[in-house]
Structure 1
Amino acid sequence: MHELGQSIWLDFIDRPLMNSGQLQRLIEKDGIRGIISNPAIFEKAISSSQDYDGDIRELTKEGLSNEAIFYRVAVADIQQAADLFLPVYEDKVSGADGFVSLEVSPRLALDTDKTLEQARELWQAVNRPNVMIKIPGTQPCLPAIRQAIAEGININVTLLFSLDRYAAVAEAYIAGLEDRLAAGHPIDQLASVASFFISRIDTLVDPVLAERGLNELKGETAIALAKQAYALYGRLFESERFRKLASLGATPQRLLWESTGGERSRFFTRQIRGGPHRP
């Protein structure tokens, strides 16, 4: 897959996966190029394993809130995963693979300042060059994304569904690079992805198509949007504006195809190029 221009990022993380050596094998033998996490993934990992019980008991003694305990546990896992992916990150086309993502609290999705504050805290807590902090692509979070990029934080912008919002996210990334450059800081070590969701679009649209007797179009909307998003990606990151940044080491904000499951996934990888893609 990687030789065909696709990068597979695994949508799962837990301690048994890492401690058993299975993740190492996935990296070395199966070509996994990164990891995505979110609070729901960690909830499943923590609730289905006893590997976390000792840490949780000790952290509870510190009088921490549930969310603070969660992030202390999650940061430790992200650090371990980032260390495993470091050879992939170092053996790279600059800004490409080897990244592990940790998400800010979804409760902050409509709060610009608190999202940025937590993004800074998580970035500093993990303290790995190949971590990406996930920020949702909501309207209030666009300024937080721009400022985080200006401060040198790798960002995974998640939950993108529309072309207009994707364009706004790409603008936030490019503007953040320009802000960072204007402040006299290097831009050649930054990386970002824009996570464009696939199957969830069809989940919403397909019932409407069925009601209108357009069954032949079911399963097509998301891929059509993804093609348009990729075309827009090409225009934005081949523009003269971005070429000036690229000449100073900036890398494009890659599209990451999220929620690509089952039969759609197999069709999707034949139709769209320019990962990373994750199943």
Structure 2
Amino acid sequence: MNPLLECQRLGQSIWLDFIARKLLDGDGLQRLIDADGISGLTSNPAIFEKAIGGSDEYDAELAALVAMGVRDPQDLYEQLAITDIRRAADRLRLVYERSGGADGYVSLEVSPHLALDEDATVRAAQRLWRAVDRPNLMIKVPGTAPGIAAVRRLIGEGINVNVTLLFARSAYRAVADAYADGLEAFAAAGGEIGRVASVASFFISRIDTAMDTCIEQRIASTHDDHERTALRALLGRVAIANARLAYADYRQLTAQPRWQALAARGARPQRLLWASTSTKNPAYRDVYYVEALIGPDTVNTLPPATLDAFRDHGCVRASLLDGLDEAQATMAAVEHWRLPLDEVADRLLTEGLRLFVDAHDRLVAAIAAKRDALRVRPLAGACR
């Protein structure tokens, strides 16, 4: 059987971490839905930078927008992105309806420049929510302290949220609390909490990329054979252990009376979504992180190359449930050897924000250049 469909049998949803006009113009997304059971789609500034800035697929619509008087490159980007997000949401609407609102979501991120501004994040999220106008939209908000405060307010207004760039378990727990706070506020205002959905996007492979470097530096600096052996055993293990224990946190939180009271009123659990599950280290199996994090009530969002690889040769088992003892032992070793996991998680959040800001700025600059070129030579087929 298709390994992607087998994951669904074990309770994990597979989403696509990619968007492009060519995917939506043809039957590409529909084929993934039909054949592979793809049940959601995520986007981010880096994905849109490649899609819009790196191709001519959007140039005709860009020309039409400019002809209608839209000039600001940020506004032009949002209009182009909103078109894609709406179309993807419409393609996934049947999945959304058949799953009773559990799946079928498409994510659109607020500007990464707003990551440290709670009020501006809320305003941008509200504006995008209204502009897209689809019930199966999720607004992506980064998991900074101001972002988490914004999540609480957005959920309290009934806006679906994908909380992104989570690296630390402590950040995930804060996000889970914010989600519960928001649901309680929405219910108190008379809202129907059963129609609100959220995921917490927990990043994986970047943890190992950073931690493996720290571990290798420690190995090179010690003359203790026992320490070297123990440290080598941690290579490529920390990210998976970190995620598995976050999943244990999820199960503990959803078993508590506070959540059970919300569930009794129809609330949906805020599932963990595994992000950054493509393998960065060529020494590791190309589906290493996908295979290690399969379990119920989770989502894995995969870029096309990883999706193809897992379909071809992925091995499926309930690895999340089977690996908790191993995860606890790995994290105990991280603490014993005083490896800087907390510092790494903080740094990766900062770096992740910077990468998204850089991608966003490159995209806006590319759109501005295309806009300026249109003033000289309008594209064929553009509105005049």
> Do both proteins adopt the same fold according to a TM-score greater than 0.5, normalized to the shorter chain?
yes
Give 1:43 shift.
1.1
* Greater Rg over alpha carbons, structure: 2
Q: Match of 1:72?
A: 79
CA contact (8 A) 2:17 2:43 kept: yes
Match of 2:287 in 1: 265
Identity of aligned residues (%): 51
Counterpart amino acid of 1:210?
E
Matched position secondary structure for 2:273: strand
Matched to 2:97, the amino acid is E
Amino acid at match of 1:81: A
1:156 aligns with 2:178: no
TM-score between both structures, scaled by the size of structure 1: 0.96
Quick one: structure 1 residues 41 and 81, their matched pair in 2 at CA, closer, same or farther if it must change by over 3 Å? same
SS across alignment from 1:251: coil
The TM-score normalised by the length of structure 2 is 0.70
Counterpart Cα distance in 1 of 2:143 and 2:293: 25
- The reply on whether 1:3 has 2:9 as its aligned counterpart is yes
Aligned residues: 278
- Deviation string 1:96-130 (CA, Å, 9 cap, x unpaired) is 21100000000000000000000000000000010
2:92 is aligned to 85
Three-state SS of the structure 1 residue aligned to 2:108 is strand
The answer to whether the Cα contact below 8 Å between 2:110 and 2:141 also exists between their aligned partners in 1 is yes
Which of 262-271 and 121-130 deviates more?
Answer: 262-271
Partner of 1:55: 61
Which residue pairs with 1:34 in the alignment? 40
Looking at both structures, which has the greater relative contact order when contacts are Cα pairs under 8 Å and sequence separation is at least 6? 2
Query: Structure 1 CA distance, aligned partners of 2:289 and 2:33?
Result: 24
Paired residue for 1:276? 299
Which residue in 1 is equivalent to 2:344?
none
Structure with the bigger percentage of helix:
2
1:63–1:79 Cα change, 3 Å: closer
Deviation at 1:238, TM superposition (A): 1.6
Which runs of structure 1 show a deviation greater than 4 angstroms over 4 or more consecutive aligned residues? Answer: none
Instruction: Verify the 8 A CA contact 1:104 1:115 in the aligned structure 2.
Output: yes
Letter in 2 for 1:156: N
Amino acid at match of 1:232: D
For the Cα contact (< 8 Å) 1:226–1:272, is it kept in 2?
Answer: no
Q: Unmatched 5+ residue regions in structure 2?
A: 1-6, 220-230, 280-284, 303-384
Query: Structure 1 pair 163/264, CA: closer, same or farther in 2 (3 Å)?
Result: farther
Residue 63 (structure 1) shift: 4.0
Superposed displacement of residue 2, structure 1: 1.1
Instruction: Please state whether the residue corresponding to 1:153 is helix, strand or coil.
Output: coil
Q: Does residue 61 of structure 2 align to residue 44 of structure 1?
A: no
Measured against aligned partners, the alpha-carbon deviations of 1:214-244 in whole angstroms (never above 9, x if no partner) come to 2321111111110110000011112110111
Amino acid across the alignment from 1:248? R
The range that moved more, 7-16 or 58-67, is 58-67
Q: Is the 8 A contact 1:8 1:278 kept in 2?
A: yes
